[in-house]
Amino acid sequence: MVVTTTDSVLETVETVYQSDSRRVLATLIRLLGDFDVAEEAMHDAFRAALEQWPKEGVPGNPRGWLVSAGRFKAIDGLRRQKRFDSLDEEGQQVDVAVIDSAAWADAESVEDDRLRLIFTCCHPALAFDAQVALTLREVCGLTTEEIGRAFLTPATTLAQRIVRAKAKIRDARIPYQVPAPAELPERLEAVLRVVYLVFNEGYTASSGAALTRHDLSAEAIRLGRLLVELLPAPEAVGLLALMLLQESRRAARTSPSGEIVLLDDQDRSLWNRAQIAEGSRLVRTALESRRFGPYTLQAAIAAVHAEAPEASATDWAEIVGLYDALLRLDDSPVIELNRAVALAMRDGPEAGLAAIDEIDRRGDLKDYRLVHAARAEFCRRLGRTTDALAAYKKALVLTRQEPERRFLERRIAEIGR
Amino acid sequence: MKYLCLVYLEQDKLHAVPDRECQACGDGFRKSGLLVAAEALEPIETATTVRVRNGKMSITDGPFAETKEQLAGFYLIEARDLNDAIQAASKIPPAREGSIEVRPVRQLNP
């Protein structure tokens, strides 16, 4: 026991809350078998710490103390509920000495608790938007108000989603466990999808005035790091790399007045070198595993951009090759569109235009604003102003993003001159 | 000849009939040798749909939604948890062609 002043103890409780409340919650869910009971127990435990630590000192293993205290409070509460008419009142103080340590002794279980929590929140039997909300609430500790603001969704809607998801976990008996090796790849895919959506929601807000909502991206990167620490699968590493490499360009991708700056026109001295170095290193690790997937390949593409000292020095041949590999894993028209853009850079705008015509022929992306924006860009470079103008106007109708709208309007005005 | 009697109810009428009445009905059927198996189900929010396409399993929240698909059979299984139930469901051959809705059985509270 360390004897300290009350103020510094309160500060310690706050620090432990920041660093460890999610771990405590994750273990309490396992021990108590219910999200809501565990959440209440965790808050009770921190309340007990606020009362007891100033008097008794900060315990040597604060997290262990909190888990034991939370468990004790929850069991005590259940017991009292069962015999509310009983006369013997139990002592209010938590006596850590009498709490069985079995729950805490198994260090491996405790480490796995955070993974259990992540996999349970991202269980594919839950609706996707519920997976996202639940992960941000339970794994990241965001409030429903914070999540609501970030997703431009009323907090009440989110609260309802979370309540429903917890009810399904309980009633359909979704187990609190890390999936078996046979199920792991698919289940990990679901987790990565949630993390990447959170990142993208922060990076390119799908609607609204602000182009970036930094907090969500930071939260996604934190989640990505946690996942890599707990389960260093190649695709988890690849996703973390991808997020870091995209994030590295944040300062350069909007002008001080909030206008979009395209990759080619970005001031590369604004790129975050530390994030690029870490991202590139992680990409190499993931690629060397030879068991990588689409996130790693996208990260590899981002790394090629990041490593070019200027736009004209970009290795477009390498990028086209990586898109080819990506298309073999996932033949989505959006990837095909990105490949068309890379192709235009390697072989000229005619080649890009031909690739887009091919996508159009299948009618896959006719309402996707970026197809029209890309077509417009190629036509503009070829001097086909009428076609460029028509395509920019189509893109303008389809965009819901304020900075993008201004960008397109600027282009239209430039051509019109 | 065996017959499956399917019970349909609107959401707000799920508990309109007391559990004890359903229990008594089941007991009566059992006594007369009529009953093979009877269970109540948890509400539709607990449903999970399992499909297998090209050997790959897909799991989605909610009941089966294709109105063209019709109820074609049932398996009442005993599984440890939803993950086990999903694994079993994915092995039911029609999962390749249609959908298997996995819904937990509800204990009656007579």
Which chain A residue shows the shortest CA-CA distance from B61? A125
Cα of A100 to nearest chain B Cα, Å: 27
Cβ pair B82:A172 closer than 8 A? yes
Residue B72 CA: distances (Å) to CA of A395, B4, B97 = 47, 11, 12
The pLDDT of residue A20? 92
DSSP assignment letter at B46: G
Structure token digits, residue A157: 């809607």
**Chain centroid to CA A366:** 29
Residues in chain A within 8 Å Cβ distance of B60? 124-125
Residue A289 CA: distances (Å) to CA of A236, A276, A353 = 12, 20, 36
User: CA B100 to CA A45: how far, in whole Å?
Assistant: 43
Q: Is B59 exposed, middle or buried (0-12, 13-18, 19+ CB in 10 A)?
A: buried
Tokens 């051509």, residue located: A415
Element (H, E) at B57: strand B56-61
Mutation target for B interface from A120, A122, A123: give the one with most B CBs within 10 A.
A123
Cα Rg, chain B, nearest whole Å: 15
Structure token digits, residue B34: 């009529």
The pLDDT of residue A290? 86
Does B99 contact chain A (CB < 8 Å)? no
A202 and A210 in contact (C-beta within 8 Å)? no
For residue A277, which amino acid is it?
A: A
**Residue B95 sits in which domain range?**
11-106
B93 part of a folded domain: yes
Residues in chain B: 110
Does A172 contact chain B (CB < 8 Å)? yes
Structure token digits, residue A100: 């069985």
Measure CB to CB from residue A124 to each of B59, B87, B103 and give the nearest one.
B59
Reply yes or no on whether the pLDDT at B110 is more than 60.
Answer: yes
User: CA A42 to CA A58: how far, in whole Å?
Assistant: 17
Residues in chain B within 8 Å Cβ distance of A194? none
The pLDDT of residue A4? 56
Cα of A238 to nearest chain B Cα, Å: 23
Structure token digits, residue A97: 């000495």
Does A178 contact chain B (CB < 8 Å)? no
**Chain centroid to CA A36:** 23
Which chain A residue shows the shortest CA-CA distance from B102? A172
**Chain centroid to CA A198:** 4
Nearest residue to A47 (alpha-carbon basis) of A23, A74, A27? A74
Cα of A133 to nearest chain B Cα, Å: 15
Measure CB to CB from residue B48 to each of A125, A130, A179 and give the nearest one.
A125
* A:B CB pairs within 8 Å: 48
Cα of B41 to nearest chain A Cα, Å: 11
B80 part of a folded domain: yes
Give the 3-state secondary structure percentages of chain A, helix then strand then coil, rounded to 5. 75, 0, 25
User: CA A307 to CA A317: how far, in whole Å?
Assistant: 14
Measure CB to CB from residue B46 to each of A168, A175, A186 and give the nearest one.
A168
User: CA A122 to CA A187: how far, in whole Å?
Assistant: 8
Element (H, E) at B61: strand B56-61
The pLDDT of residue A211? 44
A92 Cβ contact list (under 8 Å, min separation 6): none
B4 part of a folded domain: no
Q: What is the dihedral of CA B30, B32, B33, B38, to 10 degrees?
A: -30
B2 part of a folded domain: no
DSSP assignment letter at A204: S
Residues B7-32, mean pLDDT to the nearest whole number: 90
Structure token digits, residue A255: 């002008």
Measure CB to CB from residue B61 to each of A126, A167, A186 and give the nearest one.
A126
The pLDDT of residue A214? 61
Residues in chain A within 8 Å Cβ distance of B58? 124
Cα of A129 to nearest chain B Cα, Å: 11
The residues of chain A scoring below 70 in pLDDT are 1-5, 83-108, 204-214, 417
Cβ pair B80:A172 closer than 8 A? no
User: CA A399 to CA A74: how far, in whole Å?
Assistant: 50
For residue B41, which amino acid is it?
A: L
| Angle at the Cα of A387 from the Cα atoms of A383 and A393, rounded to 5 degrees | 120
Cα of A109 to nearest chain B Cα, Å: 19
**pTM for the full predicted model:** 0.83
Interface confidence (ipTM) of the complex: 0.86
Does B57 contact chain A (CB < 8 Å)? yes
Helical pair A6-32 and A62-82, crossing angle rounded to 10 deg: 60
Cβ pair A168:B60 closer than 8 A? no
Does B53 contact chain A (CB < 8 Å)? no
Structure token digits, residue A273: 């070198």
Q: Taking the CB of residue A263, how many other CB atoms lie within 10 A of it? A: 14
Which chain A residue shows the shortest CA-CA distance from B50? A125
B59 and B86 in contact (C-beta within 8 Å)? yes
The pLDDT of residue A97? 41
Which chain A residue shows the shortest CA-CA distance from B106? A171
Report phi then psi at B37, rounded to 5.
Answer: -160, 145
The pLDDT of residue A210? 52
Does A125 contact chain B (CB < 8 Å)? yes
B5 part of a folded domain: no
Q: Percentage of chain A with pLDDT > 90?
A: 67
Q: Taking the CB of residue B25, how many other CB atoms lie within 10 A of it? A: 13
Taking only the tens place, the pLDDT of each residue in B55-89 is 889 999 988 767 788 888 899 999 999 999 999 99
Strand order in the sheet with B100-102: B56-61, B48-53, B100-102
Provide the sign of the torsion angle of the four alpha carbons B25, B26, B27, B31, taken in this order: positive
Cα of B93 to nearest chain A Cα, Å: 19
The pLDDT of residue A239? 98
Cβ pair B42:A124 closer than 8 A? no
Does B62 contact chain A (CB < 8 Å)? yes
User: CA A388 to CA A186: how far, in whole Å?
Assistant: 42
B89 part of a folded domain: yes
Nearest residue to A76 (alpha-carbon basis) of A58, A63, A88? A88
User: CA A394 to CA A205: how far, in whole Å?
Assistant: 20
Provide the sign of the torsion angle of the four alpha carbons A67, A69, A74, A79, taken in this order: positive
User: CA A48 to CA A27: how far, in whole Å?
Assistant: 18
The pLDDT of residue A85? 46
Q: Taking the CB of residue B64, how many other CB atoms lie within 10 A of it? A: 16
DSSP assignment letter at A139: I
Which chain A residue shows the shortest CA-CA distance from B103? A172
